[in-house]
Amino acid sequence: MTGLDFSGELKHELGNRLAAHSWQRLPSAGRRLSAVVLALVPDASGQATIILTRRAGHLRRHRGQFALPGGRLDPGETPEQAGLRELSEEVGLHLEPASLLGRLDDFATESGFLMTPLVAWGGEAKLSPDPNEVAAIYRVPLAECGRPDALVKSNFFANQPSLPALSLDSVGASDGVSTLVFSPTAAIIHQFAELAVHGRCTAVSHFEQPTFAWR
């Protein structure tokens, strides 16, 4: 890939890379189905960024944590339908199904969800957080997510010491808030950055999730 400008070339290359891999699908038995969206939008300088949110502090589950837009599938919904609906509801980004470029690996969370990560081409957009769900929205540079030194593997937060918990450090908050992003969000972003920035298909389902992310 020649660069990370938000361009038609990037969109075309990402679509090809996503289509070239057989992404892991996991059985759904006993798990609640959900979808998250890695939505690509430009920043003020025209660089490709990923939309990241910080969940509202009054929520019952995962309050204050960093997350990708997304949520549980409603009855009869596909992951694609749910992902686009949640993207619209949470950050005010209204996209058509044709904006979806593909999927990444399913991710089974310790909190009982089976997450399907989707990649969407968002275009120029004015984002507006739903205060009932979202405390803040960030545009995280895709190039930052792909930096090797952004990865942090630590056993401190892991439930099983033999399996490190993966996080991404300092991925671009603009309001002074620390963006140490933990799995499962960190693992999904890492897998996408590996593909988008480095052209690698990297498995991430083996990374632990910190115990506070279970609740």
Confidence check: pLDDT of 214 > 80: no
Domain 8-214, what fold? Answer: Nucleoside Triphosphate Pyrophosphohydrolase (3.90.79)
Q: Is 212 left (phi over 0), alpha (psi -120 to 50) or beta?
A: alpha
pTM of the model: 0.87
Task: Quickly count: other Cβ atoms within 10 Å of residue 132's Cβ.
Answer: 10
Counting residues of the chain whose pLDDT is more than 90, the rounded percentage is 43
Other beta carbons within 10 angstroms of residue 211's beta carbon come to 12
Predicted local distance difference test score (pLDDT) of residue 163: 47
Asked whether the bond before 69 is cis by omega within 30 degrees of 0, the reply is no
As a whole number, mean pLDDT of residues 63-73 equals 85
The residue with greater pLDDT, 45 or 157, is: 45
